[in-house]
Amino acid sequence: MQVVEKTTEGLSRVIGVTIPAAELNAKLEAKVKEVAPQMKLKGFRPGKVPVTYVKKTFGRDFMGEIINAELNETSQKALEEINLRPAAPAEMKLLSDMDKVIKGEEDLSYEMALEVMPDFTPVDPKTLKLARPTYEASDADLDEALTELAGQAKNYEDKKGKAVKAADGDQLTIDFLGKLDGEPFEGGAAEDADLVIGSNRFIPGFEEQLKGAKVGEEKTIEVTFPADYQAANLAGKLATFDVKVKAIKAEAPAVVDEDFAKRIGLESLDKLKELLRDNLNQQYAGAARFKLKRALLDQLDGAHSFDLPPKMVEAEFDGIWKQVEADKAKGDLPEEDAAKSDEDLKAEYRKIAERRVRLGLVLAEIGRANNIGVTDQELNQAIMAEARNYPGQEKMVLDFYRQNPNAAAQMRAPIYEEKVVDLIFNQAETTDTPITKEELLKDEDEG
């Protein structure tokens, strides 16, 4: 194999690779000799197929397999030979007449166009100084969480008053019988059914007609099933429902006490408070890590200046800009961006793309220097966690990642980044700095 560095321009390289025809022919001869004794062909005794016949009949196919294998193997060896670290997979360009190469009449020549990793020395994590924000859940935070939990746990009590009538938000207990053309239909009846007016659980128009009803009242409601109703025999049909109102209850605020804790499956109110406080502190710890990581990335970005692989920047920018255009089409652009021209937006987002590429290269280099890697077990755990986000479709998600190595590789990247970030946190000089909850949860983009 002959390797020549043809062009060098910035971080771009074009590498020429030539594999002599003699090497390919030698591998073809070895392949033929290996398989001939194992072949079983009509007209020949097992293991007695002549080598010349095998080569004439299958040589072209064998040579195609050899060439594909050579392209894969030699491309990596060529980069190692001239000590190049690609920033992304190389683009291959065949230069030979492949028909002649397959016939063994011409050398296999190809070019690899690629961008290489920039040459830089990353900052030593031990020289970095970071302020880790800290905040612990207060009693006021806990009370707020308990109030929110109580609000989510809806409780209904009998509506009291001299002339109780059903209104929006009330829960009614009803019996009903549905009819089409005066005849009951299957699935159109129930007893002691609970219905909250305004919940939109029933056919459109049903709940509204129960407003003003009293306990013990019987009334007939007329509604039309939606045209796209799931039961084809009812879709678009006019129906009546004979309804009897048996109870009317109003929403009552839940009282957070021992009974409340037990109703939601805990042994005591103290245990509920303990779990809520732990959950709050986990949320605050996550927010603190986000702020600390952002401060770290700002330091890393400011501490490095080197040429960036243009194609990597362009690919990153393209991904960002596609999202910007999608947001613009839906009217979801932030107000400050909506007022800017495309030219100004592109300039801003290109800087963001450059920052992301620069930081990605810095973190990758720090990780490489410290032998950071992602194990198969870590990757599988991440894929399992992703699958759990789609209840009932877990197998489909797992199969997707098993069948798409590129998707699994993309899942590996954020795991690697977090491991490198953890390494830096552990090695940097980090000081805990108490802050308020408002400071912790403040959006940095708010200024």
What is the pLDDT averaged over residues 404-411?
85
What is the pLDDT averaged over residues 291-307?
95
Instruction: List the 108-115 sheet strands across, edge first.
Output: 2-9, 12-19, 108-115, 91-94
> Which CA distances in Å does 110 have to 22, 71, 93, 365, 376?
16, 9, 5, 30, 34
Q: Would you kindly state where each structural domain of the chain is located, as residue ranges?
A: 2-115, 154-252, 262-307+370-446
Grouping H, G, I as helix, E, B as strand and the rest as coil, residue 187 is: strand
Percent of the chain with pLDDT over 90: 62
Helix H or strand E encompassing 185: strand 183-196
Q: What is the pLDDT of residue 444?
A: 60
**How does pLDDT run across 109-142, given as a tens digit for each residue?**
999 999 999 989 999 999 999 999 999 999 999 9
Q: 294: which DSSP letter?
A: H
Report the predicted TM-score, pTM, of the whole model to 2 decimal places: 0.69
Pick the CATH number of 2-115 from 3.30.70.1050, 3.40.190.10, 1.10.1060.10, 3.30.1950.10: 3.30.70.1050
CB 210 within 8 A of CB 245: yes
What is the pLDDT averaged over residues 179-200?
92
Whole-number Å distance between alpha carbons of 85 and 101: 29
Hey, what are 333's tokens? 């652009």
What is the pLDDT averaged over residues 89-111?
90
Nearest to 245 by CA among 172, 179, 188: 172
Q: What is the pLDDT of residue 443?
A: 76
- Judged by average pLDDT, the poorest of 33-42, 213-222, 394-403 is 33-42
Q: Answer with the residue of higher pLDDT: 191 or 331.
A: 191
Question: What is 154-252's CATH number?
Answer: 3.10.50.40
